[in-house]
Chain A
Amino acid sequence: MTTEHIVNLTLNVNGESVSRAVEPRTHLIDFLRNDLGLTGSHTGCEHGVCGACTVLVDGEIVRGCLTLACQLQGAEVQTVEGLTESGAIADLQTAFHQRNALQCGYCTPGMLVCATALLNQKPHASREEIREYLSGNYCRCTGYEAIVDAIETTAKNRSAGKKLGAAANTTAKEAA
């Protein structure tokens, strides 16, 4: 590997601009974990089957092991660390905790990121839709039922919360 094969890469990760020189063969998941120290996303099967490495690229979920870092010049990447720090998925994480939707926890970051994308696209996703959307994320501990429960609970709470918020606004306006 000569230096001519190194790619200079600038992208945005969890809201911060990051510049690194990478080997072309470096997968996004290894770039995040090894170059940036963001070890929340996990390396699983490394050939696109298990979903443990799921992260958001430009707002869409992708496999971190099937994406080369060097392809992401100018992209916006979000990992479970970014979603956690912003508080965007605090309710989803609480629901996972309360429903015991994780045991060993290996699949959990991928599950959370995948569920985030689903709830953004389909805020009222049914259990069937949740199961279908999660079909590419393997969990070897829970049997999935608790994970589906936690995501369904979050969907319901979010839509109820929005309704409450809307009702409160109406009341405030009426009061004014």
Chain B
Amino acid sequence: MKAPPFAYQRAESLERACALLAAHGSGARILAGGQSLIPTLNLRLSQPDLLIDISQIAGMRGIRVDGNEMVLGALTRHADIEHSASVKQHFPALAEAAAQIAHPAIRNRGTIGGSIALADPAAEWPAAALAFDMSITLASSRGERRVKADGFFTALFETGMAADEVLKSIQIPLPAAGACTSFGELTRRSGDYAIAGAFVNACKTGGKLSATRIAYFGVSTRPVLARGAMAALDGSSGDAAASAAAQACLEKDLSVIADLYNSPATKLHLSRVLLGRLLNKLLAPSAVKPA
């Protein structure tokens, strides 16, 4: 249960981290909060030659609003998001989700950038990235590029990041008038990975839902947008009939797989139950952002 030997470099800037990563190739891993990476080292599931520590790079941790979007530095910690007044104001579902990630001691060090770069299908942030149409800014010695979260999560623990890229920041479009969101997850115990979890993000104007986005985590090999359910809800009032139609789409949408304790049938059932609850929560008058 001790980590294998590895070399260590503390990068004092993002440019330095990119240069080190480019020089050392796939034998190097980026270390941010370490709350997922270090357990895999302890269990000897991974054995990098070099850890490039970005955790002390100035300016990569923090939350700000820039024009029409919120920008989160990659090193922003789960606890920062949980307690941010700005996040609570614009994205209450994200603050709520942050409080469900593991336990306080882990939220104090784990980062949103690390979580999205790792792409654990059971984690909250990759699904949030899909539901809130987030963009991800990646840096390398070749320059920067900005990609959409939709399409970023390509397979189990795999993303569209190149081997020499470092996740720099995350951008979230600010909610429009009529925006309504809800979040929920079903767990055996507080802090456990969810059996099923989801974010719903929609716009309600004139009694009709539009631009509905529903993203699930903990049910498949990657975070997944429930596209059929989203289409079923768009244009509806989100009433019981629309909810049932959306729930009926989930089997096709989610490609549910088993976990250690629950069969695909159980997880699909719970995914449907969760969607029903989240739609009720979504349409509560207090959940809709006033025009």
Interface residues of A (CB under 8 A from B): 1, 4-5, 7, 23-25, 27, 30, 45-48, 51, 54, 57, 60-63, 65-68, 70-71, 73, 114, 117-118, 131-133, 135-137
Contacts and interface: CB of A to CB of B under 8 A. Distances in A.
Given A1-B5, A25-B4, A71-B55, 6 more contacts: A45-B1, A61-B108, A67-B34, A71-B53, A114-B104, A136-B105
A135 B6 CA distance: 32
A5 B5 contact: yes
A71 to B, nearest CB: 6
Given A24-B51, A67-B34, A47 B2 contact: no
B60 interface: no
A47 B34 contact: no
B103 A47 contact: no
A131 B103 CA distance: 11
A47 B5 contact: no
A60 B108 contact: yes
Nearest to B53: A71
Contact of A47 (B10, B43, B102): B43
Interface of B: 1-8, 10, 31, 34-35, 38-39, 41-43, 51, 53, 55-56, 79, 102-106, 108-109, 189-191
Contacts of B106: 48, 63, 66, 136
A83 to B, nearest CB: 15
Contacts of B34: 66-68, 71
B38 A68 contact: yes
B243 to A, nearest CB: 30
A131 B106 CA distance: 16
Contacts of B6: 5, 24-25
A-B pairs, 10 with minimum CB distance: A136-B103, A24-B8, A46-B1, A135-B190, A25-B3, A47-B39, A61-B105, A60-B108, A66-B38, A5-B7
A8 to B, nearest CB: 11
B5 to A, nearest CB: 5
